[in-house]
Amino acid sequence: MSVTNPFRRHPRFLARLPRIVRLYVLNCLIGFSLSGLFTGAILWFNVAGIGHLVQNVSGGWLAALVFFTLNGIVFAGVQTGIVVWSMDYDDDDHRDRGLPVPVLQPAAVRVAAPRRTPRG
């Protein structure tokens, strides 16, 4: 599987960032794009009268902005989580780094002979 860098050409300052930062920035952009679509759909279809309230109440644009921002944070977090969880992970990586692997050996245990009691 080849790894591609979506920021290879533009913008150049993102291409110099570490891969994990580029991954997070890209997934934040995707999450906030989904949030914009979601917020636009909620306002367009006037779900629960929210579109009407945003248009007709003073400060309604602020509520829409907060709605967009909070949903963007959630969608970006979920998007990043999905990408991180779906990454390949080699569980046997510790053997490649030369870390010692414990070897179990039996231990000697002394057992005393049972005492005999006289029958009475």
Q: Which of 56-60, 86-90, 94-98 has the lowest mean pLDDT?
A: 94-98
Residue 11 lies in a domain: no
Q: What distance in Å separates the CA atoms of residue 53 and residue 60, rounded to the nearest whole number?
A: 6
Mean pLDDT on 92-111? 74
Residue 1 lies in a domain: no
Residue 106 lies in a domain: no
Residue 56 lies in a domain: yes
Residue 27 lies in a domain: yes
Q: How many domains does the chain have?
A: 1
Burial of 44 (0-12, 13-18, 19+ CB in 10 A): exposed
Residue 13 lies in a domain: no
Quick check: helix, strand or coil at residue 86? Answer: coil
Residue 78 lies in a domain: yes
Structural domain that includes position 54: 18-88
Residue 24 lies in a domain: yes
Q: What distance in Å separates the CA atoms of residue 74 and residue 35, rounded to the nearest whole number?
A: 9
Q: What is the pLDDT of residue 1?
A: 46
The pTM for the full model equals 0.64
